[in-house]
Amino acid sequence: MDLVEYQGKQYFARYGIPISAGRAADTVDEAVAAAEEVGYPVVVKAQVQVGGRGKAGGVKLAADAAEARQHASDILGLDIKGHIVRRLWIEHATDIEKEYYASFTLDRAAKLHLAMVSARGGIDIEQVADTEPEAIARLHIDPLDGLGLPAARQLASDAGLDPEALDQAAAVLVDLYRCYVEGDADLVEINPLVLTTDGRVHALDAKVTLDDDAAFRHPEWSELEQIGDVDPREQLAKEKGLQYIGLVGSVGIIANGAGLAMSTLDVVNQVGGTAANFLDIGGGANADIMANALEVINTDPNVSVILVNIFGGIVRCDEVAQGILTALERVDLASPIVLRLDGTNSVEARRMLDERRSEQIIPELTMIGAAIRAVEIAGGQS
């Protein structure tokens, strides 16, 4: 789950990372009231799950109520890279001396945590990585060792932060690391981490991605409101406990196991098609799960054919066939199903489907055969 800036800042604050005082607002009047409360000058900031808000006109300074009103009304409803602004964060403005960058994430290849710190903050870090890779100091951290103040200070120093910022920056890094580990985040990023004109170091922006698999340890996460639009297909899938990722093509894909689902995506691409989604019904797929999966895909108007690719190991093909038959009764499927069923009980499954012969089900024996057939159908209809 990606948090918006102010949720990320509130998460930071629990670990003692300094942030500016602020308030959330959903209307222009609320924004002005919030500005009065935090005290001018204020920054009016769009709360959307996308970076580069500043460049897009989503971050504006206001010196008084009239300006706060003007900026709030300009920013609410603004479209920032496809995200419509529905909530603002109003915080007391900071006088900036320097803008830095700090983040922690997991380096999967190294199997270690990775800290990145730079004195070139405030701008897109990918751009810094491209043009000035030496301007980013990196440190791998073994989770068993953790991160102490001396190593954090060294990292800040390697990154070229100003001498007067080093002690405070080191403390922020240690707290941010704790937020990342104890807070079960996949990513924590502060860009910019600023040195103020009066010599304080604090977080002016926050990007936090929580690890959904750790939700069971964090009952408080349920209070985090989803800000902004969620893909209705992904929402429906989540409610039904399915692993679903919406894409933009026309072939709906259902497979058992993430590996098989990805291979199916690849094969569809190789034969000239495009996938509308990625849907893994998992290793314990039964009739009900299969029916749910078809229901979710059926809500996607881009789908013109559904490719079901099941290799039965633990999953029994007759259960899957039963799920397809149940789905056909339960919902009015808008697209034909190209079906490749192989493995445990596949003979029984084919017999069941033959008995209830439906024009909507097109059987294929191989994965490549099924992909070619599905792409033909998709192409013929678009």
Binds 52: which of ligand GDP, Mn ion, none (CB < 5-8 Å by kind): ligand GDP
Would you say 118 and 84 are in contact if contact means Cβ atoms under 8 Å apart?
no
Nearest distance in Å: CB 169, ligand GDP: 17
Return the amino acid letter for 100: Y
For Mn ion, the binding residue among 205, 300, 318, 319 (CB under 5 A) is 205
According to the binding rule CB under 5 A, does residue 191 interact with Mn ion?
Answer: yes
- C-alpha 48/C-alpha 217 separation (Å) is 26
Kindly tell me which of 121 and 249 has the beta carbon lying closer to Mn ion.
121
Contact predicate 105/176, CB 8 Å: no
Distance CA 46, CA 60 (A): 9
Q: Which is nearer to ligand GDP, 38 or 247 (CB)?
A: 38
| Stretch of 87-95, 187-195, 309-317, 341-349 contacting Mn ion, by CB under 5 A | 187-195
In terms of CB distance, is 87 or 316 closer to ligand GDP? 87
CB 276 within 8 A of CB 249: yes
155 binds, among Mn ion, ligand GDP, none (CB under 5 to 8 A by kind): none
Look at residue 43 and give the partner it binds from ligand GDP, Mn ion, none, a contact being a CB closer than 5 to 8 Å depending on partner kind. Answer: ligand GDP
Nearer to ligand GDP, 10 or 286 (CB): 10
Sign (positive or negative) of CA dihedral 175, 177, 183, 188: positive
* Nearer CB in complex with ligand GDP: 176/305: 176
CB atoms within 10 A of CB 361: 20
Cβ-Cβ contacts under 8 Å for 347 (sequence gap 6 or more): none
The one-letter code for the residue type at 189 is: E
Residue 207 C-beta: closest distance to ligand GDP, Å: 8
**Residues 6+ positions from 345 with CB-CB distance below 8 Å:** 312, 316, 317, 318, 319
Q: Which stretch binds Mn ion (CB under 5 A): 23-31, 156-164, 204-212, 371-379?
A: 204-212
- CA separation for the pair 289, 314 (Å, rounded): 14
Cβ proximity to Mn ion: between 205 and 364 the closer is 205
| Catalytic option among 11, 101, 180, 244 | 101
The contact set with ligand GDP (CB under 6 A) reads: 43, 51-54, 59, 93-94, 96, 99, 122, 191-192, 204-205
- Is 101 a residue of the active site? yes
Question: Is 223 noted as a catalytic residue in this protein?
Answer: no
**Residue 344 near which of Mn ion, ligand GDP, none (CB within 5-8 Å, type-dependent):** none
Which token pair is 75? 């920013």
Binds 96, which of ligand GDP, Mn ion, none (CB < 5 to 8 A, cut-off by type)?
ligand GDP
H-type alpha helices, 47-109:
65-75
Which residue type is seen at 337? I
Name the active-site residue from 5, 67, 99, 189.
189
CA trace torsion 53, 56, 61, 64 (10° rounding): -120
Size of the site for Mn ion (CB under 5 A): 2
Q: How far apart are CA 381 and CA 103, in angstroms?
A: 47
CB of 54 to Mn ion, least distance (A): 7
Interacting residues with Mn ion (CB under 5 A): 191, 205
- Active site residue ranges: 101, 189
